[in-house]
Amino acid sequence: MRRLAAIAAVAVIATVTGTACSGVGGSGEAGVYTTIDGAKQIDATAPINPFNPQGNTFLGYDAMSLAWPKNDPVDPNLFYPGIAQSWTTTPDQSQVVVHLQPNAKWSDGKPVTSEDVKTSIGLAYTQGGTAYAVDPKAAGAAADVIVVDAHTLKVTQGANKSNTFLRNVLSTVVVPAHVFGSLLPADFWTQLKLARGTGPAAEKAKATITGLAQKVITFAPAKDVSAGPFVLERVNPGEALLVKNKHFWASDKIAPKMVKVLNYTGNQQIWNYLIAGRLDSAPFTATPSGVLNRIRQTDGNEVVKGFSPVAVSMAFNQTKAPYDNVHVRKALAYLIDRSQVTKVASPEGGTPSPTTTGIHSESAKSWLGNSENGLDQYKLDPAKAAQELKAAGMKQVNGKWTMPDGSPWVVELHVPASFSDWVAAAKAITSQLNDHGIQASVLTSADYTLYLDELAAGKYDIGLWLMALGPAPYNIYQRIYGSANGWQLLAGNLTHVAPGTQGNWMGGPETVDGVNPGALTNQLNAATPAQQKQIVGTLATLTNQNLPMIQLYDYVNTQFVNDSRFTGWPPNDSDMLRLPAGVWMQLGLIKQQGAR
Amino acid sequence: MTVVEGMPPTTVTLRRNFWRGVGRVMRRKPSRMVGVGIVLVFVFMGIFGPLLYPNPLPRDDNALYASPSWAHPFGTDFEGTDVLALVVTGTRYVLLAGLTTAVITVALGTVIGLLAGFHRGRWDTVLMRLTDLQLTIPGLPLLLVLSTVWKFTSPIEMGVVLGLLGWGGIARAVRSQSLSLRERGFIEAAKGLGLSTRHIIGRELLPSMAPYIAMNMLIAVTGAIYAQVGLFFLGVLPFDANNWGVMLNLSVFGGGALSSTAALPYLLAPLLAILLLTLGIVLVVDAMDEIFNPRLREE
């Protein structure tokens, strides 16, 4: 056994070393665009099916949405056209009319029609989801799907309106009805109507629809039929090869003849691809400074940076003492030097959060304007921290802070072991706290799934937590005042469950100074832009003062491109950087190097 | 001649001859002296290492992943902490876990092997099926599963688990030796004299196998070091900045030591420590092999 463990460890080193040495010299094949899929690793046995999480379809290349979200820091309803050429919506988003690309065709030559979109929506119902929830009371659920003509489709929203309806409808992934249509029973739409009612017939219909989920996920078409610029030719454990789809409506814009999507086992393998100059572009990959410098030295490699609507925070379990006391949370905020934490953890892929608002600092500028200046910045201030700790009743004995009853206080900061920047951040935080007399240590979980399970089970006092997942303000604050903090939205009804139950691990109070932050967050769904701004202002102030979490650093979307074979990349800060390179090609950006 | 009080002169002479023999063995190959030196250095680091540095270790925010220098012979880590200090202060955990594993492995393996080999019959059948069962347990997957529920925060816990998973091989080897020895004349004579089983196993069989067991114990230490460092490297055990496996993990996955030179010293330092410690133990085992060789003792 011991030998086995040792062999396993050595094998990992050998594999990584082998990877480091492989592939030097770049792909070098003319017209072949080489990249990786940042969303998933390749599983050659997975079906060619976009409904399968491991499916061998690649968004932007052979998997197409109606439109591509720009993920604007403030407006979630801005898109680039996809299969939809244009769209219109009523001011309250009660109705969305989608006009398809008139010349869109599948890779087998058949036209893309409204029936394809309707079938795709039907399949989406089997998987559940925001716009396509079977429960008609769910916020933002579609009420009806009407085919107006071969290239026009109307989708109406149910009674419980959400201002993210347009976004959710346009994010629909479209699959060919002549391939996937047989998965839906002939009376599917009748069943759906039934399922929206009440009584035993409705329950039976609901069960029929949700019962289709597994059948849809496991469906394996014999070949790829794509409406995107590429179609999957073959896939093996090392790479997927996609060839140009001659039927794509804007194929003249597509420079590469083929796209090679390389597989990877971890970040270091992506770094090695980049150092070898093999990748024409790579999405965000956490990269240490030394490696980034090495990547930059490779001919043609460039780093492009833009906004990424994600931040990292240190979230408290308020069911556990002393983190139920706001003074303790504030004291910790005053003791953490976020600049130093960012410098240690993510010097290239993050910027220290100016303060805690719950929003990425780039978005906060637009949402909060000057009012952000009125918030507490929580700059490093040990004196203020000591005041806060004393206000919480904590005691200082021989330079060490203890609990009010004199028992030892040990801050345990939990992180998943596989997130190297989080591990480094947690270590930097505990070092800082130890410097100030607070005994602190880092505890790791073997993997992220286990970490989330244990976090939800309330086993941790403090854990690092992704937040500010915009751009929709509801999504942003849902991370703080959502199910993890006790607010559950079921069939349009918002309830607050007791701390420590049903995944409520944050355990914050239901109201703070008379304000119910969960209810306010829920209102963001249906609020007008002006109302949203007001609510966001209230929630940002509340978050800043109540500190259910301490915002540490905001991610920067650091991407890599290589000019050797292709050119015409999105510039720094372009909203296209938040979309796959296949979409850049659809929008006519990428050109063969040297082509006129 | 100095005679130790209460000890017969022949015993003292034998002991003096033994140490002379040890001296000769060590001088015959100077590398053995080097091995003993290396092991002693690591033992010193394990006992006194944490006392040599302030706790917590100093950090330099302006020297993250600093190159090797006189101040930092192996550079610094992601937090600007001296890598050599991390290796030195991390020795205690590695050695303690290794020793605990070795003691448990050898103790369990020896007792079970001796009892099975000496008694034979039902004892042998039961104990060897138990050993077979232990040998079929896939250690690494079991440890990966265990790590999800058990955090192994102390080196003793780590050592106990590794020990309980690793005694099967020694038990089988000791049983084989026992089966051979129990047929020898001196064991037959002891049985004929009506000596107790405890006496025969403890005073007759065990001393004959002591050198073999001692060497296995040292080798078990190296095995335990590989196993625990490997588990920490895979990231399944708790974070401790000065653990050698954690250092390897962070240098590769956090610092990109296999992709750029910045974090390379951070990777090499714990690797070198593991290499040196293994080398030291192997050289000591080499010396022990000759020391306990009966022909040497006759010289």
pLDDT digits (tens, 9 = 90+) for A406-451: 999 999 999 998 888 999 999 999 999 999 999 999 988 878 888 9
Q: Where does residue A571 rank: exposed (0-12), middle (13-18), buried (19+ CB within 10 A)? A: exposed
Average pLDDT over residues B171-183: 88
Give CATH 3.40.190.10 domain extents, chain A. 27-47+228-300+563-592
Average pLDDT over residues B90-98: 93
- What's the rounded Cα separation, in Å, for the pair A97 and A154? 4
pLDDT in the model for residue B199: 87
Average pLDDT over residues A101-127: 96
Determine how β-strand A301-316 pairs with β-strand A549-562: antiparallel
- What's the rounded Cα separation, in Å, for the pair A249 and A33? 20
Q: Where does residue A270 rank: exposed (0-12), middle (13-18), buried (19+ CB within 10 A)? A: buried
- Fold annotation for A65-214: Dipeptide-binding Protein; domain 1 (3.90.76)
Which A positions 78-97 lie with beta carbon below 8 A of chain B?
none
Looking at residue B254, the DSSP 8-state letter turns out to be I
- What's the rounded Cα separation, in Å, for the pair A560 and B199? 74
Q: How far is A90 from chain B (nearest CA, A)?
A: 49
Cβ(B139)–Cβ(A5) under 8 Å? yes
| Number of residues that make up chain B | 299
pLDDT value at A12 more than 80: no
Cross-chain Cβ contact B64/A344 below 8 Å: yes
DSSP codes, A175-229: --HHHHGGGS-TTHHHHHHHHTS-SHHHHHHHHHHHTTHHHHHH---SS---SSS
pLDDT digits (tens, 9 = 90+) for B98-157: 999 999 999 999 999 988 988 888 889 999 999 999 889 888 888 878 877 777 778 898
Helices B168-181 and B206-233 pack at an angle, to 10 degrees, of 170
pLDDT in the model for residue A74: 81
pLDDT digits (tens, 9 = 90+) for A46-89: 999 999 999 999 999 999 999 999 988 888 889 999 999 999 99
Establish if B244 touches chain A: CB-CB under 8 angstroms: no
pLDDT value at A16 more than 70: no
For the ranges A201-215, A382-396, B8-22, the lowest mean pLDDT is seen at B8-22
Establish if A439 touches chain B: CB-CB under 8 angstroms: no
pLDDT digits (tens, 9 = 90+) for A253-280: 999 999 999 999 888 899 999 999 999 9
pLDDT in the model for residue B13: 67
pLDDT in the model for residue A264: 93
Residue B247 carries which side chain, given as an amino acid letter?
M
Helices B83-119 and B30-52 pack at an angle, to 10 degrees, of 120
Of the candidates A161, A163, A118, A170, the residue with the CA atom closest to the CA atom of residue A141: A161
pLDDT value at B35 more than 60: yes
Site from B81, B105, B258 to mutate, A interface, most A CB atoms within 10 angstroms: B258
Q: Which residues of B46-82 are buried (b: 16+ CB within 10 A; e: fewer)?
A: beebbeebeeebebeeebbbbebeeebebbbbbbbbb
Half-sphere exposure of A418 (CA within 13 A, CB side): 10
pLDDT in the model for residue B247: 94
Of the candidates A559, A575, A35, A34, the residue with the CA atom closest to the CA atom of residue A302: A559
Q: Is the peptide bond before A322 cis (omega within 30 degrees of 0)?
A: yes
Using pLDDT thresholds of 50, 70 and 90, give the confidence band for residue A25: very low
- What's the rounded Cα separation, in Å, for the pair A83 and A67? 6
Establish if A13 touches chain B: CB-CB under 8 angstroms: yes
For the ranges A352-366, A474-488, B231-245, the lowest mean pLDDT is seen at B231-245
pLDDT in the model for residue B28: 81
Most confident of A84-93, A123-132, B162-171: A84-93
Q: What is the domain partition of chain B in residue ranges?
A: 21-55+72-298
Cβ(A254)–Cβ(A248) under 8 Å? yes
β partners of residue A307:
A556
Greater model confidence, A83 or A11: A83
Residue of B nearest to A14 (CA): B258
Using pLDDT thresholds of 50, 70 and 90, give the confidence band for residue A9: very low
pLDDT digits (tens, 9 = 90+) for A494-509: 999 999 888 999 999 9
| Number of residues that make up chain A | 596
Using pLDDT thresholds of 50, 70 and 90, give the confidence band for residue A391: very high
- What's the rounded Cα separation, in Å, for the pair A570 and A553? 25
pLDDT in the model for residue A185: 94
pLDDT value at A15 more than 80: no
Query: Sign of the C-alpha dihedral, residues A263, A268, A272, A273?
Result: positive
Which B positions 166-225 lie with beta carbon below 8 A of chain A?
166, 220, 223-224
pLDDT value at A29 more than 80: no
CATH H-level, domain A308-555: superfamily: Dipeptide-binding Protein; Domain 3 (3.10.105.10)
pLDDT in the model for residue A325: 96
Of B151, B230, B261, the CB nearest to A5: B230
Residue of B nearest to A290 (CA): B262
pLDDT value at A579 more than 90: yes
Of the candidates A56, A196, A185, the residue with the CA atom closest to the CA atom of residue A134: A196
Q: Considering the domain A27-47+228-300+563-592 in this protein, what is its CATH number?
A: 3.40.190.10
Average pLDDT over residues B11-32: 75
Non-local (6+) Cβ contacts of A490 within 8 A are none
The rounded percent of chain A whose pLDDT value lies above 70 is 95
Cβ(A494)–Cβ(A518) under 8 Å? yes
Using pLDDT thresholds of 50, 70 and 90, give the confidence band for residue B51: very high
- Fold annotation for B21-55+72-298: MetI-like fold (1.10.3720)
pLDDT value at B298 more than 60: no
- What's the rounded Cα separation, in Å, for the pair A506 and A322? 13
Which A positions 270-299 lie with beta carbon below 8 A of chain B?
271-272, 275, 287-291, 293-294
pLDDT in the model for residue A3: 36
- What's the rounded Cα separation, in Å, for the pair A490 and B148? 32
Cβ(B24)–Cβ(B44) under 8 Å? no
Cβ(A314)–Cβ(A552) under 8 Å? yes
Of B231, B238, B241, the CB nearest to A5: B231
Q: Where does residue A456 rank: exposed (0-12), middle (13-18), buried (19+ CB within 10 A)? A: middle
pLDDT value at A2 more than 50: no
Query: Sign of the C-alpha dihedral, residues A449, A452, A456, A458?
Result: positive
- What's the rounded Cα separation, in Å, for the pair A454 and A459? 6
Rounded to 5 degrees, what are φ and ψ at A481? -115, 45
- What's the rounded Cα separation, in Å, for the pair A268 and A262? 14
Using pLDDT thresholds of 50, 70 and 90, give the confidence band for residue B293: low
- What's the rounded Cα separation, in Å, for the pair A537 and A531? 10
Helix, strand, coil percentages (3-state) for chain B, rounded to 5, are 75, 0, 25
Average pLDDT over residues A141-163: 92
Determine how β-strand A281-282 pairs with β-strand A64-65: unpaired
Give CATH 3.90.76.10 domain extents, chain A. 65-214
Of the candidates A128, A217, A130, the residue with the CA atom closest to the CA atom of residue A175: A217
Average pLDDT over residues B90-101: 92
Cβ(B244)–Cβ(A19) under 8 Å? no
The radius of gyration of chain A's CA atoms, rounded to the nearest angstrom, is 25
First-to-final CA distance of chain B: 21
Look over chain A and give the mean of its residue pLDDT values, rounded to a whole number: 90
| A63: Cα separation from own chain's centroid | 18
- What's the rounded Cα separation, in Å, for the pair A467 and A547? 13
- What's the rounded Cα separation, in Å, for the pair A247 and A105? 6
pLDDT in the model for residue A84: 97
Of B223, B248, B249, the CB nearest to A2: B223
Q: How far is A295 from chain B (nearest CA, A)?
A: 9
Distances (CA, A) of B241 to A24, A37, A442, B77: 33, 32, 9, 9
Tokens of A585: 């090609």
Cross-chain Cβ contact A291/B143 below 8 Å: no
Which residues in chain A touch residue B253, judged by CB atoms under 8 angstroms apart?
266-268, 420
pLDDT in the model for residue B15: 66
Distances (CA, A) of A551 to A337, A362, A378: 11, 14, 10
- What's the rounded Cα separation, in Å, for the pair B89 and A298? 38
Q: Which residue has the tokens 């003062």?
A: A545
Establish if A22 touches chain B: CB-CB under 8 angstroms: no
Using pLDDT thresholds of 50, 70 and 90, give the confidence band for residue A20: very low
